[in-house]
Amino acid sequence: MTGSGAGIGAATARRLAADGMTVAVHSRTSRAAGTALAGELGGTYFQADLADDAAAGALVPRVLAEYGRLDVLVNNAGISWPVPHADLAALTADDWRRLLDVNLIAPWLLCTAAAPALRESGGCIVNVTSHAGVRPKGSSIAYAASKAALNHVTRLLAAALGPEIRVNAVAPGLVDTPLTADWTDAQQLWQTSSPMRRAAQPSDVADLISALIRNSYVTGEVVLLDGGLNLR
């Protein structure tokens, strides 16, 4: 799974290992953390910058060379930084390209590379998207657009690749990670306005990803995991 050095990715890697899977751990920069996690879980660590098309396209072949098969692809890696939605000039064309490269094009390249092996194993894909791809929210308009596009790609791939390969997405709202620790406005929003009165924990996301992997019938779904904030 991509982006598994910390936060949601590390929690999901641990959950899938507890489910009996051998997990290929990936990160862009957190080599020490990724190597330690892979050692803890009995897997292998792979480093790759997914903004680089060649590196993204080569990641699945590297995993297949190590393990010989692939049953699940979890596209979790993503990037984000805050840009006020009304400040249009603050998002440059290069910003858009950077966000789309990592959040949309890299998952596409990974799905393309993984499809033959997943077809052979009867496997599945889970894309980690965002509440911001469903509602007009998020750290920036470009980020929200990249996740909305990945949600739609999820549905298109499910229609194109079934019945051999199932494709679903998990769309979390705010998740308590080191990245979001100082997002005080978002924390306040979830604590006061969501029915669950809290942000998600990484383990909440990991549990849902695990459930989608284990269910052999669900495909083409984008499952919101926002504590019910979408109801407000």
Number of residues in the chain: 232
Asked if residue 31 belongs to a domain, the reply is yes
User: Rounded distance, CA 62 to CA 47, Å?
Assistant: 10
Asked if residue 1 belongs to a domain, the reply is no
Asked if residue 179 belongs to a domain, the reply is yes
What's the pLDDT at 179? 77
User: Rounded distance, CA 21 to CA 194, Å?
Assistant: 34
What's the pLDDT at 184? 85
What's the pLDDT at 180? 80
What's the pLDDT at 178? 77
In three state form, how does the secondary structure of the chain look? Answer: CCCCCCHHHHHHHHHHHHCCCCCEEEECCCHHHHHHHHHHHCCEEEECCCCCHHHHHHHHHHHHHHHCCCCEEEECCCCCCCCCCCCHHHCCHHHHHHHHHHHHHHHHHHHHHHHHHHHHHCCEEEEECCHHHCCCCCCCHHHHHHHHHHHHHHHHHHHHHCCCCEEEEEEECCECCHHHCCCHHHHHHHHHHCCCCCCECHHHHHHHHHHHHHCCCCCCCEEEECCCHHHC
Asked if residue 2 belongs to a domain, the reply is no
What's the pLDDT at 150? 98
Asked if residue 231 belongs to a domain, the reply is no
Can you give the CATH number for the domain in which 171 is found? 3.40.50.720
β-bridge mates for residue 175, sequence order? 200
What's the pLDDT at 200? 95
Global confidence as pTM: 0.95
Helix axes 141-161, 106-121, angle to 10 degrees: 20
Mean pLDDT by 10 residues, the chain (232 residues): 93 97 93 94 96 96 97 96 95 97 98 98 98 93 98 98 98 88 85 93 97 98 95 86
What are the catalytic residues?
Answer: 143
Domain range for residue 77? 7-225
Task: Name the percent of the chain lying above pLDDT 90.
Answer: 89
Number of domains in the chain: 1
Asked if residue 137 belongs to a domain, the reply is yes
What's the pLDDT at 182? 81
- List all residues 6 or more positions away from 161 whose beta carbon is below 8 Å from its beta carbon: 115, 118, 119, 167
